[in-house]
Structure 1
Amino acid sequence: MTERSRTFTWSDPGQTASKARERAGLDFLEAVAAGELPAPPIADALGMRLVSVDSGSVAFTLDPAEFHYNPIGSVHGGVHATLLDSAAGCAVHSTLPAGTGCTSLDLAVRFVRPITTDTGTITCVGTVVHRGRRTAIAEARLVDGAGRLLATATSTCLIQEAKS
């Protein structure tokens, strides 16, 4: 058996979270994408990168690696779900004013194709489909470099307004 190891570091998530409350969602996510604010620990753990942000839309990339694998030799579905949930949630967050946050109420994932290290860089784009006062609905699509669909999801997010 050949063993492998991996080491990674992350920044204090509390410091980044406090900045999230001080800034409008779009401004906050742009600062994370630009590296002005650290990414959350889950992004460091998985190696996912927030690469673009617009109001109502975000994109993450990830290079599939062996440490993402399940026991049958492909990327674990939890990695797909994490990317899809992150993209959907951040798309909603990009529409929020300062002091307002959101959290996932549900996530419906559909797996289309397996992902392996041979797949190459994958991109997950989240887009807001509906934004109400208390809830929002977002879709996310996970594709390979050729644009082939790998997985898709829909999510409902609860909008948590700033406390007065």
Structure 2
Amino acid sequence: MDERFFEPPYAFSAHMGMEMVDWREGYARFELALRPEHMNRHDNLHGGVHATLLDTVMGYSGCWTGDPEVRQMALTLSLNVQYLSRPRGHRLIAEGTKTGGGKSTFFAEAQISDETGEVVAKGTGVFRYRRR
């Protein structure tokens, strides 16, 4: 990834431990090393972690401007999550892709897998661009 486009983590993503790995036109990838605080009371990954990662990578996938000085932001209008499996590994890999849209809204899909290749969740979303 071109370092000019790297964005430092905002407070919540830093708290979660999310790392931006790749970001380009129509695509974003974040990774997350699993920690005990990501687990629910059954010691399984909390569903909110899946939702957060999916929402983040889909939002970024539609906000690429190609200019590191111009930031585009978006608001989530709809987020759908399909929980598929428990992670087998210790690191989550979330990849989001912009699938369409227009001047004010965009659509995206995303998938989370772990480092073993196990697909743990998928999602779709609708986002509205914020005015600059």
TM-score (norm 2): 0.88
For the residue of structure 1 that corresponds to 2:62, the secondary structure is helix
Q: Percent identity?
A: 28
Give 1:139's aligned amino acid: E
Select 1:104's aligned residue among 59, 76, 87. 76
Residues 147, 56 of structure 1: alpha-carbon distance in 2 compared, 3 angstrom cutoff: same
Aligned residues: 129
Distance 2:27 2:93 in 1: 13
Give 2:74's aligned amino acid: C
Residues 29, 41 of structure 1: alpha-carbon distance in 2 compared, 3 angstrom cutoff: farther
Residues 73, 48 of structure 1: alpha-carbon distance in 2 compared, 3 angstrom cutoff: same
Which runs of 5 or more structure 2 residues have no equivalent in the other structure? Answer: none
In the alignment, which residue of structure 2 is the partner of 1:136? Answer: 106
Residues 63, 51 of structure 1: alpha-carbon distance in 2 compared, 3 angstrom cutoff: same
Runs of at least 4 residues of structure 1 off by over 6 A? none
In the alignment, which residue of structure 1 is the partner of 2:58? Answer: 88
Tell me, yes or no, if the aligned pair for 1:29 and 1:53 is still in contact at 8 Å. no
Residues 90, 112 of structure 1: alpha-carbon distance in 2 compared, 3 angstrom cutoff: same
Shift of 1:140: 0.8
For the residue of structure 1 that corresponds to 2:79, the secondary structure is strand
Instruction: Name the structure where helix makes up a greater proportion of residues.
Output: 1
Which runs of 5 or more structure 1 residues have no equivalent in the other structure? Answer: 1-26, 33-37
Instruction: Name the structure where strand makes up a greater proportion of residues.
Output: 2
| Cα deviation digits, residues 10-65 of structure 1 (max 9, x gap) | xxxxxxxxxxxxxxxxx998231xxxxx3111111111100111111010001111
Shift of 1:101: 2.4
In the alignment, which residue of structure 2 is the partner of 1:71? Answer: 41
| Cα deviation digits, residues 100-125 of structure 1 (max 9, x gap) | 4211101000000123xx52211000
Is 2:123 the counterpart of 1:148? no
* Bigger Rg over Cα: 1
Distance 1:100 1:89 in 2: 10
